[in-house]
Homo-oligomer: A and B are copies of this chain.
Amino acid sequence: MKFRRSGRLVDMTNYMLHHPHSLVPLTYFSEKYQSAKSSISEDLTIIKETFEQQGIGTLLTVAGAAGGVKFIPKVKLSEAKQFIDELCELMAKPERLLPGGYLYLTDMLGDPSIVNQIGRLFATVFSNRKIDVVMTVATKGIPLAYAVAGQLDVPVVYVRKDSKVTEGSTVSINYVSGSSKRIQTMLLAKRSLKEGSNVLIIDDFMKAGGTINGMISLLEEFDANVAGIGVLVETEGVEERLVDEYISLVKLTAVNMRERDIQVMPGTYFHNMKDNEIGED
C-alpha cells in the first residue's frame, strides 16, 4: 500500500504513541509505506518537532545498522505543574474526609484520564533510569502501576497480602507497617520476577513507608534492584520516614477533622527537575 505523507504522519504518530521506549528501525516504516528512508526521516523530524512543541515527548534517533527511532514520553514542566495543582485542588475537597481522618480517593483513582496522566508524569521523571519492571501492591496501586508501565513499555508485577492458587509458588516476607506498627505479610509469585531485575516501585499512598520498605525487602529476596520509588500521595508529619529516596506528586500536610479542612501541596516531583530535563520551558 502506498501512502502519502499526510497519511504516514497520522499512522506513524499512532504507532510511536503505542510503542514508547521501543526502538523502531526506519526500515519498519519504509517497508510498511513503501517509501524512501529519506522521506521517513523527514516525517520523523516533523513528528519530533510537534511532540516536543506540544509536550507529548520526544523522538530519539539511534544511528547505525541496529539503529532506529524511539519515542520517549515527556510531560512539559508547565503541564506537570498545572496537573499537580489540579490534583491538590481535587484532593483538598472537604467531602473526601472519612471517619478517622482518612480520605476518599476512589473517584480520582477510578478516572482513567487522571490515572494515565499520573502515569505520564512518573514515566517522565523516571525516563532516564534503567527499568525492567514496575512493582506495586494490591489493590489501589495497580491502576497507577499499569499507567506508568504502559508509558515505559515494561511489565507490571504486584505484591499481595494473601496467597492465590492461580499464582503458583510465592515468596513471602513479614514487614512492619510503619504507621500501625503491626506485623504483616506480603508475597509475590516466584516466577513473576527475574533475578537482577531493575524495579520501579509505584504506590498510591505513603505514610511512614512501611509497605514500600516491605517491597524493598521482598526485592532483596529476588536479588532485584530498586530503580526508583514513586508515590501519588505522601503524608507529612510522620516522625520517622522509613523510605528516603522517592518521588511524590502531592503531599498531604494536614487533615483537620473538626474544621473539615484538608491541606495538600505539591510533592517532591519538581525537586528532580534538572536531573530529568522534564521540559524546556
Interface residue? A269 (CB, 8 A): no
In the complex, the answer to whether B155 meets A98 with C-beta atoms within 8 Å is no
Interface residue? A160 (CB, 8 A): yes
Interface SS, A side: helix
Interface residue? A6 (CB, 8 A): yes
Alpha-carbon distance A263/B103, docked complex (angstroms):
46
Contact string against B for A residues 144-155, beta-carbon threshold 8 Å, 1 for contact and 0 otherwise:
001101100111
Interface residues in A140-195 by Cβ distance below 8 A to B read 140, 142-143, 146-147, 149-150, 153-158, 160, 165-168, 189, 191-192
Size range of the interface on A?
35 or more
Assuming the contacts A17-B14, A155-B110, asked whether A98 and B54 have C-beta atoms less than 8 A apart, the reply is no
Interface residue? A243 (CB, 8 A): no
Closest to A98 in B: B168
In the complex, the answer to whether A115 meets B146 with C-beta atoms within 8 Å is yes
Number of copies: 2
Alpha-carbon distance A158/B51, docked complex (angstroms):
35
Alpha-carbon distance A162/B157, docked complex (angstroms):
22
User: Can you spell out 24 A-B residue pairs with CB atoms less than 8 angstroms apart?
Assistant: A5-B6, A6-B6, A6-B46, A6-B50, A7-B49, A10-B13, A10-B50, A11-B54, A11-B56, A14-B56, A17-B17, A98-B166, A102-B166, A104-B167, A106-B157, A107-B155, A110-B158, A112-B150, A112-B153, A112-B154, A112-B156, A113-B150, A115-B146, A138-B139
